[in-house]
């Protein structure tokens, strides 16, 4: 931690900072510059935060140096992690050795539509099924998902197709119920900073898919993962899904650079959601190929047997020729960047 | 609603849109341009959304024309509303006739600190006391607030000073408990899109202070208010508190234009939080004066008897000469823009 | 300047940094932390930049501490400056003692329209006339301004009304010609980083109105002013005119906080353009009042005798009742924040 | 063009709009909705703009429907274009059939450094040499490039290695001189809206590399290309180089989606600059692979024989193992997305 004193700070101001740091058992190294004095702090960083250094007289700025996240940081866990999803014996990996393809309908509407979408997804190479039963919608007048009934449909379709199920949970009060039926719990972009919900999924005993808040920095995203991890659950997969910028041509701007940055800051796997980032079907395949190129550990996409009648996000759901193009990309490109397919049998969990 | 067809849309594509709209009982007016055809829709707009027009073949864009919010819109409720906070007989107004000054500590730390801050606030002209018992923090390792114990302190201090209390609620499971002790429930910026929480405060029977999400558009903010209103609670005060932009000099960029825009789109009162927007003490007074100038219905600011030891957001808390400057601005400027002081006795609730 | 070493930096890496700094005659203070080492540099900062410290092995980050701008910084020039515009004997001040109202048509269209707008502006209290002869437009097919002919009209109208003239220059090749006719040269938002143009106006011998780039940080804006200053011209007025954000309700988001921040970082006057920020007529008056509240040194607004037929930015030009409301605000509010009117006779240049 | 009337617009307001449109020879189709009336306009769109419809009484919004750019639009030129760079007989293509690799030093410093960088670039597979002689820098105290001397060095090195040369021009007054020595003129991100410069390169008779403004929308970028095209030069290559967002981990956020969007809106080739977007060496290779995956027509990267001593942007220049990794990606991946190498002999200009 580095404290930068203001140009007009007095010797007393400097002494005051040093004194308080030392009172906490820390060490303060003072370097007197021509214009300003800087003080380097060594010791209990979290304790120093309690000092509220920024508010002290004569302090111009405080620069934190260490990562604010611990459990998810790669600093103390240099090897990248693999997260396993599904029932024992048929677990699907998400991690550095494989490229995992997750697909399914944005919203579960009917048993038929869900089964059809799952079959499409599996045929295209997907090894995990996504589907929304609880939908967070900006309008209280929009379709909010089938809830409990949607969970039942998803579980049955997962069973029928042999695909483990990923579904979103939007309320801490629903976590136990969703965790009973789903194989992986998704935290959506609007809930990335819903700390009560993060803690609840941290205690639920199922892997977590944590989408980046559409306006969260990468550091805040990793702090959100830390909330989950701190409750004892390190089976977390990060998902980049676009950030809010001034560009109106896409719903959000896919921050493709966030993938290698998050992978180098954290040991957690990082996947990409090209469907929700762009909000446009014609961009899903190119962006999925970009995700493979940049080194993502997987993609998650919307598919729908009949996008024209979809109750949610139809304009971005794949089908037909686009889905075939994506299937081909997912088959051909990952081996060129050193990855195998993510099927249950392809690699096996350690231990 | 206006549907813009693609340049290469066929007559069949146009007919298909018209047919589906008419099947729903709507009317479709086709205007054939030189390059493109546009179709104006009249009828049940919500039904048209179900059609998923954007996904139909040949459709290039769909423009919505009416406001997506209803209960909070000024379209059907042209008169601006006043929200009354506090016990019957001593209610404080927030609305177009007055300028309301809300102040208190960012976080409740001890009974002494809270009482001292409340006395400071009242002396400076504040008529409502703010204070945080539950704090949403980006780090799981940061001070999370005193919780239930903080609520007790706040209630006692509110009682002692005669100031109604505004406090944040961060979890739907805590709403009933907080509503029992507080006079107004605050939804923080990180929870603006926590729809379960919005619905819970919509049913709690207390006025709501709804902060704008730091990355929410004004329309999304009004949609969040609609979530609260839809549960029967129209006592909502909107609070602009800065948005996330590329500018690093302030924590967030106060979107001062949002005040008149929200006031013209919605009948709800709109206040400004200059403390959290800037994150810098030296900007609080100028920004509060800007808020008065732009026509806000009030301000909410952090005060602390000793900012240097504050457990939360000390760098932005006012005290001493800055608080006196703010008190003076709040006294002198509002009359020039046609407003009176917001004391319990100054105006009285209708009926 | 502070160099933060990576967690895995070696003692050699540290020694290498120290050695290079000392080779340049600087001093390096090494503070060895538990996780990382930090090095404080004292001496010739500009020389250190040449070292390209960020690229050295083991270096994680470099924090600059001093302001990168010198001539426009308030650090070595604590008193705020006043810039005088117009012919000797009738100069209009822009600075901390006054509030200056600048108005006129966005684009000069005809002698009649310009004269009429100037008369409206003067009647409303404006003491400087703005008007565009050269217009930078995003489309090559849009009206580009009358050019030389527009300059003649402006000069004649300025003469007739006694108002000094502010006009934009968009090309370094036009600077001499524009400087001959205008009293103040405006650099528009799109040219804030056109360094050749900045240097040209720095040598032109006329005061400069420097609009903030719509996507420039405050620091970059001050660096642009430094380009002008470095050519010997310190008669620079900064103008905040909105930045690009995700919010679509306004054309740009007026960054009202930038006013006090720029005033505290630089000694130059800072004014606000509420017309171009919002792009909406109904926001001009509230935003102008916010500008007065926040402590701006003036405002610049578009007026037009008949906005409906304006060739440029008609939707934001004031007339009629709105212009009267603005005139009233400019008359009544500034005295409450310690400012007088900016008439040629109100204060006089020193010396 | 669609005009949306306000809810309280009168029949006279509607009639007034219709009348003015018809006076210009256009047609106006009126659709009266339950709440609002909409008017579809057919005819001379540019003429309608002159009407300033937005400023008319009763008008709530005006939606433009056709693309505002013409010459660079794909609407009237559905086939994607190939731009040829270099001397006749040894021209290098940039377009849909190939993947073009452009590399070289950010700034030309010495003949030796430039030659060494060019040899590195060529060995890695580059077929065009980039290098900066004129550098636009945010600080007037930073290295501004060697200017004319740098051009001579570049031309000599291009001659020696057989690589056509791309270099930036920052001032309209330098265009003729730069065009004499360089094979392709680059417009940098800060000059994308410098319309005088765009027109000057439009008349210079050399291909243009047009970087996206770091804060420009895709539409504004295409409008800038239209400025060049309108002067008769359609040999324009677009270059995505990152946009400004709230994320601080990268210098800018590479907007990878902009590549397929620009390719579908315009017939011009689109390449990616991963070096300047990220500003971090470790991201250049992953982002270049993402660019190939998304379907870009090429990449442009910084290389330097000794990044530690680079005078400009050293932290992002490739060398050693990273350059080898990039060379491998550029060789292996493009064929998988249907592209060949961009060598002078690989395909030949039509006609």
DSSP D105-148: -SB---HHHHHHHHHHHHHTT--EEE-BSS---SSTTS----TH
Residue D165's alpha-carbon distances to B137, C303, D146, D276, in angstroms, are: 53, 49, 16, 19
User: Using CB atoms, which residue from C173, C244, C315 is nearest to D55?
Assistant: C315
Report residue C250 as tokens: 């306004």
Residue D53 is predicted with a pLDDT of: 81
Q: Which of A217, A254, A336 sits opposite D257 (nearest CB)?
A: A254
Which of A130-134, B325-329, C230-234, C316-320 is least confident?
C316-320
Tokens of A128: 């995990």
Contact check, Cβ <8 Å, A36/C248: no
C171, C174, C243, C318: best mutation site toward chain D, by most D Cβ within 10 Å? C171
Instruction: Please determine, for residue C345, whether its predicted confidence score (pLDDT) is greater than 60.
Output: no
Closest Cα in chain B, distance from residue C299 (Å): 14
Closest CA to C270 of C302, C225, C240: C240
Separation of alpha carbons A217 and A222, rounded Å: 9
Instruction: Write out pLDDT tens, residues A205-255.
Output: 999 999 999 989 999 999 999 999 988 899 999 999 999 998 989 999 999
- Sequence-distant (≥ 6) Cβ neighbours of residue A198 within 8 angstroms: A187, A224, A227, A228
**The Cα angle at residue A106 between residues A102 and A112, in degrees rounded to 5:** 95
Residue A60 parent element (H or E): strand A59-63
Residue B93 to residue B102: CA distance in whole angstroms: 11
Task: Provide Rg for chain A, Cα atoms.
Answer: 23
For B204-243, give one letter per residue: b (16+ CB within 10 A) or e. Answer: bebbbbbbbbbbbbbbbbbbbbbbbbbeebbbbbbbbbbb
Kindly list the residues of chain D whose beta carbon comes within 8 Å of any beta carbon in chain B: 2, 4, 7, 29, 31-36, 38, 40, 42-43, 61, 63, 65-66, 75, 244-246, 248
Closest CA to B215 of B238, B239, B194, B189: B189
Q: Which CATH architecture has domain B2-63?
A: 2-Layer Sandwich (3.30)
pLDDT of res. A5: 84
- The predicted pLDDT at position A72 comes to 93
**pLDDT at residue B44 is higher than 70:** no
**pLDDT (tens digit, 9 = 90+) per residue, B168-194?**
999 998 999 999 999 999 999 999 989
Strand-pairing partners, residue D37, are: D32
Radius of gyration from C-alpha coordinates of chain D: 23
Half-sphere CA count of D69, side-chain side, radius 13 A: 25
| Structure confidence at residue A103 (pLDDT) | 95
State which of B56-60, C347-351, D240-244 shows the largest mean pLDDT.
D240-244
Contacts C215 to D, Cβ<8 Å: 213-215, 244
pLDDT of A272: 98
Q: What are the distances in angstroms from CA A312 to CA A145, A321, D329?
A: 9, 21, 38
Residue of D221, D226, D227 lying closest to D241 (CA atoms): D221
Distance from CA of C15 to the nearest CA of B (A): 33
Subunit partners of chain C (3 or more CB pairs within 8 A): A, B, D
With tokens 């139909």, the residue in question is B56
CA Rg value for chain C: 23
Instruction: Give pLDDT < 70 ranges for chain D.
Output: 33-35, 43-47, 49-50, 65-66, 309-314, 341-351
| CB-based contact C139 D194, cutoff 8 Å | no
Q: What CA–CA distance (Å, rounded) separates D280 from A345?
A: 38
Q: Is residue D191 within 8 Å of residue D152, measured between CB atoms?
A: no
Cα-Cα-Cα-Cα torsion B273, B277, B278, B280, nearest 10 degrees, comes to 60
- What separation in angstroms does the CA of B138 have from each of A47, A136, B106, B134? 17, 22, 15, 13
Task: Kindly report the nearest CA distance between residue A336 and chain C, in angstroms.
Answer: 30
Q: Is 70 exceeded by the pLDDT of residue A348? A: no
Measured CA distances, D152 to D157, D159, D184 (Å) = 9, 11, 15
Chain D partners of A277 at a C-beta cutoff of 8 Å? Answer: 257
The pLDDT value given to residue D307: 72
The torsion angles phi and psi of C108, rounded to 5 degrees, stand at -75, 125
Q: Is pLDDT larger for residue C225 or for residue A50?
A: C225
> Is B23 a residue whose pLDDT tops 60?
yes
Residue B19 neighbours by CB under 8 Å, 6+ apart: none
Predicted confidence (pLDDT) per residue in C220-273, tens digit: 999 999 999 988 899 999 999 999 998 988 999 999 999 999 999 999 999 999
pLDDT over threshold 90, residue A264: yes
Are D20 and D50 in contact, with CB atoms under 8 Å apart?
no
D156 CB-side CA count, 13 A: 14
Q: Which residue did the predictor score with more confidence, D312 or A272?
A: A272
Chain A: partners with 3+ C-beta pairs within 8 Å: B, C, D
* Residue A184: predicted pLDDT: 98
In the prediction, which pLDDT does D46 show?
A: 64
pLDDT given for residue D139 in this prediction: 75
Mutation for testing the D interface, residue in C21, C195, C236 having most D CBs under 10 Å: C195
Q: Give the per-residue pLDDT at C305.
A: 83
Provide the pLDDT for residue B185. 98
Yes or no: say if D60 and D54 are a contact pair by the CB < 8 Å rule. no
Count other C-beta atoms under 10 Å from residue A282's C-beta.
13
What is the spatial distance between Cα A184 and Cα A205, in angstroms, rounded to a whole number? 9
* The predicted structure's pLDDT at residue A344: 56
Q: What is the per-residue pLDDT for B54?
A: 78
> Which pLDDT does position D153 carry in this prediction?
96
Q: How many CB atoms lie within 10 A of CB C79?
A: 8
Q: Is D34 helix (H, G, I), strand (E, B) or coil?
A: coil
* B322-338: pLDDT as tens digits: 888 899 999 989 988 88
Q: CA C15 to CA A335: how far, in whole Å?
A: 42
Residue in chain B nearest D33 by alpha carbon: B42
Nearest one of D205, A41, A129, C255 to B254, comparing CA atoms: C255
Alpha helices in chain B, H assignment, sequence order: 11-23, 45-50, 111-123, 148-161, 175-181, 195-202, 218-230, 258-265, 274-278, 281-294, 320-332
Backbone phi and psi for residue B3, each to the nearest 5 degrees, phi listed first: -105, 125
The residues spanned by each domain of chain D are 2-63, 83-341
**pLDDT higher than 80, residue B310:** no
Burial of B144 (0-12, 13-18, 19+ CB in 10 A): middle
**CATH code of the region A83-341:** 3.20.20.70
How far off is chain C from A318, nearest CA to CA, in Å?
28
Interaxial angle between packed helices B218-230 and B195-202, expressed in degrees from 0 to 180 and rounded to the nearest 10: 50
CA–CA gap between residue A298 and residue A96 (Å, rounded): 9
Q: How confident is the model at residue C47 (pLDDT cuts 50, 70, 90)?
A: low
Q: What is the pLDDT of residue D280?
A: 83
Q: How far apart, in Å, are the Cα atoms of B226 and each of B200, B211, B268, D244?
A: 13, 13, 11, 32
C-beta separation of D349 from D89 below 8 A? no
ipTM of the complex: 0.86
Distance CA B258, CA B252 (A): 14
Question: Would the CB atoms of C257 and B249 count as touching at under 8 Å?
Answer: yes
User: Rounded to whole angstroms, what are the CA distances from D85 to D103, D158, D182, D236?
Assistant: 14, 13, 10, 10
In 3D space, the residue among A90, C62, C336 whose CA is nearest the CA of residue B336 turns out to be C336
| Range of lowest pLDDT (A181-185, C21-25, D81-85) | C21-25
State what percent of residues in chain A have pLDDT above 90: 53
Backbone angles phi, psi at B39, to 5 degrees: -125, 120
Instruction: State how far the alpha carbon of D72 is from the alpha carbons of C211, D201, D212, D232, in Å.
Output: 31, 16, 15, 11
DSSP, collapsed to helix, strand or coil, labels residue D337 as helix
Beta bridge partners of B243: B253
Q: Is the pLDDT of residue A351 over 60?
A: no
Q: Hey, are the CB atoms on A310 and B52 less than 8 Å from each other? A: yes
* Beta carbons of D195 and C308 less than 8 Å apart: no
Q: Tell me, what's the pLDDT at C336?
A: 82
Q: List, in sequence order, the alpha helices (H) in B190-280.
A: 195-202, 218-230, 258-265, 274-278
CB C240 within 8 Å of CB C205: no
∠ CA(A296), CA(A297), CA(A300), 5° rounding? 90
Strand partners, C73: C266
User: Does A52 score more than 80 pLDDT?
Assistant: no
Under 8 Å between Cβ of A209 and A186: yes
**Torsion angles phi and psi, residue D35, rounded to 5:** -100, -40
Mean pLDDT along residues B230-248:
93
The answer to whether B326 and B284 have CB atoms below 8 angstroms apart is: yes
Query: Helices then strands (H, E): number in chain D?
Result: 11, 15
CB spacing of D227 vs C140 below 8 angstroms = yes
Determine contact, residues B89/B295, Cβ cutoff 8 Å.
no
**Interface contact C42-A34, CB threshold 8 A:** yes
User: For B78-103, what is the mean pLDDT?
Assistant: 94
């Amino acid at each position: 931690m580095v404290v930068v004193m203001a140009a007009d700070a007095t010797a007393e101001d400097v002494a005051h900072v040093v004194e308080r740091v030392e009172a906490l058992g820390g060490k303060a190294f003072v370097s007197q510059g021509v214009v300003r004095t800087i003080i380097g702090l060594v010791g209990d960083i979290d304790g120093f935060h309690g000092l509220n250094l920024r508010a002290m007289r004569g302090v111009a700025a405080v620069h934190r140096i260490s990562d604010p996240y611990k459990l998810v940081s790669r600093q103390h866990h240099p090897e990248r992690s693999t997260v396993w999803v599904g029932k024992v014996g048929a677990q699907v990996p998400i991690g550095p050795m494989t490229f995992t393809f997750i697909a399914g309908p944005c919203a579960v509407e009917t048993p038929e539509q869900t089964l059809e979408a799952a079959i499409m997804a599996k045929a295209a190479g997907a090894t995990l099924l996504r589907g929304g039963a609880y939908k967070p919608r900006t309008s209280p007048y929009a379709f909010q998902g089938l809830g409990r009934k949607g969970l039942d449909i998803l579980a049955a379709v997962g069973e029928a197709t042999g695909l483990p199920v990923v579904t979103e949970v939007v309320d801490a009060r629903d976590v136990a119920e969703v965790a009973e039926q789903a194989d992986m719990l998704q935290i959506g972009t609007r809930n990335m900073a819903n700390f009560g919900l993060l803690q609840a999924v941290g205690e639920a005993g199922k892997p977590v898919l944590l989408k980046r808040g559409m306006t969260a920095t990468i550091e805040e995203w990793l702090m959100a993962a830390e909330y989950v991890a701190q409750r004892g659950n390190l089976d977390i997969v990060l998902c980049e899904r676009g950030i809010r910028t001034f560009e109106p041509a896409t719903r959000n701007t896919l921050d493709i650079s966030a993938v290698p940055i998050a992978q180098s800051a954290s040991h957690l796997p990082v996947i990409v959601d090209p469907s929700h980032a762009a909000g446009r079907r014609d961009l899903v395949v190119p962006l999925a190929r970009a995700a493979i190129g940049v080194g993502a550990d997987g993609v998650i996409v919307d598919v729908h047997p009949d996008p024209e009648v979809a109750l949610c996000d139809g304009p971005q759901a794949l089908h037909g020729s686009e889905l075939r193009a994506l299937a081909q990309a997912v088959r051909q490109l990952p081996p060129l960047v050193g990855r195998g397919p993510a099927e249950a049998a392809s690699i096996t969990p350690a231990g």
